[in-house]
Amino acid sequence: MAYAYPDGTLALRDVSFAVAPGERVAVLGANGAGKTTLVLHLNGVLGGGPGEVHVGGLRVEKANLRECRRRVGIVFQDPDDQLFMPTVAQDVAFGPANLGLAGDDLATAVDDALEAVGMAHVGERAPHHLSFGQRRRVAVATVLAMQPHLLVLDEPTSNLDPASRRELSDVVRRLDLTVLIVTHDLPYALELCPRSLILNDGAVVADGPTVELLADEELMEANRLELPFGFDARHLTP
């Protein structure tokens, strides 16, 4: 797969990889490496370049966009981009209701999604009354209610305090779902994702066990990736 923006900037070059059902995979890379462009191909926001994208056996193309966008749930970096209804429950119900779910089935989908992220007790509250970490978990619930095949988390730990960071990681571990985590938080990638991809200049330059990639000092330096001071990747395994 390749993709160039209208001004001719080549954003993705010969990208090819597969993620197995149930895998948790991190996508790592410096700013401008192509991570966001890659993610936006997974549900058809971007496309049209050479190559194909398939999710659960379904090709991502115009004729399949509705189903593709159900199968691929993207949780953006700012939860307020996804929360706009008067109550949390209404936010979580919005997606499945637009797919035709109603009545008891819709109520069950909302309850199950909020339960999965540990937020069942806030359904009637206004999203803006919640903490940032709680809003991020509700944003995850809005995607889970659509019963996706693939959950994409874009910089999930940004602006989270340590407790909220841990609560979110607990949620991700419990999910029986394929997860792709786009992150600059390398310890978080190591904690949650046994496998990582490294993007650089629009190409996948490494694909392997997260602990091995992060312990490779030469690879890290070449791709402008840095672990926190004093952190040794070899001392923690997913």
Report yes or no on 92 lying in a domain.
no
Mean pLDDT for the stretch of residues 187-199: 96
CA angle 76, 155, 83 (to 5 degrees): 25
pTM for this predicted structure: 0.92
Which residues, in sequence order, are CB contacts of 36 under 8 Å at separation 6+? 154, 182
- From CA 233, how far away is CA 211, in angstroms rounded? 6
Residue pLDDT, tens place only, 99-141? 899 999 999 999 999 999 999 999 999 999 999 999 999 999 9
For the chain, the domain total comes to: 1
Examine residue 111 and state whether it is found in any structural domain, yes or no. no
| Confidence band for 177, pLDDT divided at 50, 70 and 90 | very high
Would you say residue 128 lies in a domain? no
CATH number at residue 31: 3.40.50.300
Is residue 125 included in any domain, yes or no?
A: no
Residue 206 included in any domain: yes
Please give the Cα distance from 22 to 178 (Å, whole number).
4
Report d(CA 39, CA 45) in Å as an integer.
9
32 or 209, greater pLDDT: 209
Task: State mean pLDDT over 160-164.
Answer: 94
- Residue among 17, 28, 23 at smallest CA distance from 183: 28
Measured in residues, the chain has a length of: 238
Does residue 124 form part of some domain?
no
Residue 16 covered by a domain: yes
What tokens does 222 get? Answer: 């070449």
Q: Indicate whether 175 belongs to any domain.
A: yes
- Which range of residues forms the domain containing residue 165? 3-81+151-235
Average pLDDT over residues 148-168: 94
- pLDDT (average), residues 25-40: 92
| CB-based contact 114:88 (threshold 8 Å) | yes
What's the rounded Cα separation, in Å, for the pair 13 and 2? 5
